[in-house]
Amino acid sequence: MKLLRRRLLYLSRIALTIGFAIALASTAQAAELKLMSTSAMKVALIDLTTAFEHATKHKVTATYGNPGVIRGRILAGEPMDVLVLPELGLDDLVKQGKIVAGSKIILARSVLGVAVRAGTPKPDISTPEALKRALLAAKSAVYTDPALGSPGGIHFAKVLERLGIAEEMKRKSKLHDGTSFNAEFVARGEIEISIQPISEILPVQGVELVGPLPGDLQLTIVFATGIGTGAKEQPAAKEFIKFLTLPAAAAVIKATGMEPGGS
């Protein structure tokens, strides 16, 4: 309930502080935008797209998923107007001619965190050695399948290698496909510990954030947005991206556990 109230508060704040400005500044006819985005920004974007629709005549249809899966669908020819993806993946799609060159804007930054079920003891993960002990002591763990191209999954697999426990963890780890938040398995009691971007942990009821990965084991994931080269609604797409970068929108992004913009 606290999360819901917080989201409604920020949604109201957006509508009041930028709604009229966007509506009055709008030069685009009412449009239907197709948004494709990494799941890591889903919670923030749900609130922001709702506010954008309230402030303008536009409608946004969103598809969320694992970055690698989203990238594959775009390369296969699936149309979209606005894309939100980890920066490296978006840059590659610019090179592939799928995103308009020069349209990229940095939206947010997130780091990887560890979650356990609410009410259970939180392990010490304050140092690499402590994290190693916590992972070895856990009966099970879940992280995103590196084969799907998720930056977080790829990085955490390297962390396990660096800690020298890749083989031990392989026997008790679930590699998730990113269709839902990893922490949901922990909330249901199916898995003991989850590793993923903090922005994918905070929205899940029934889990608690233990903390970020320690020291230089951490990964900062930069999320960027851009306009599809095949976008049918480029004026409205530009308006939507402008909306996502306004100060009040930054408050929503920050509330989900990310740092907004290029900070």
DSSP 8-state secondary structure symbol assigned to residue 121: P
Burial (CB count within 10 angstroms: exposed 0-12, middle 13-18, buried 19+), residue 138 = middle
- Under a CB-based contact definition with an 8 Å cutoff, are residues 173 and 154 in contact? no
Whole-angstrom distance, CA of residue 201 vs CA of residue 213: 13
Per-residue confidence (pLDDT) for residue 221, from 0 to 100 = 94
The string of DSSP codes covering 128-174 is: HHHHHHHHHH-S-EEEE-GGGT-HHHHHHHHHHHHHT-HHHHHTTEE
- The structural domains of the chain, with segments of one domain joined by +, span 2-109+222-260, 110-217
Residue in this structure with the two tokens 């140092």, named with its chain if needed: 127
What pLDDT is recorded for position 6?
A: 52
Q: Does residue 263 contact residue 247 with C-beta atoms inside 8 Å? A: no
Residue at token pair 């320690």? 214
Backbone phi, psi, residue 211, to 5°:
155, 180
Class of domain 110-217: alpha beta
Q: Which residues of the chain have pLDDT under 70?
A: 1-28, 262-263
Q: Evaluate whether 2-109+222-260 and 110-217 have a shared fold.
A: yes
Architecture of domain 2-109+222-260: 3-Layer(aba) Sandwich (3.40)
Instruction: Check if the beta carbon of residue 193 is closer than 8 Å to that of residue 135.
Output: yes
Token pair 């998923």 in the structure block, residue:
65
Q: Which residues fall within 8 angstroms of residue 48, CB to CB, at 6 or more apart?
A: 14, 243, 244, 249, 252
Res 24: pLDDT: 46
Name which of 170, 176, 179 is nearest 195 in CA terms.
176
Q: What is the pLDDT of residue 28?
A: 59
Quick one: pLDDT at residue 2? 47
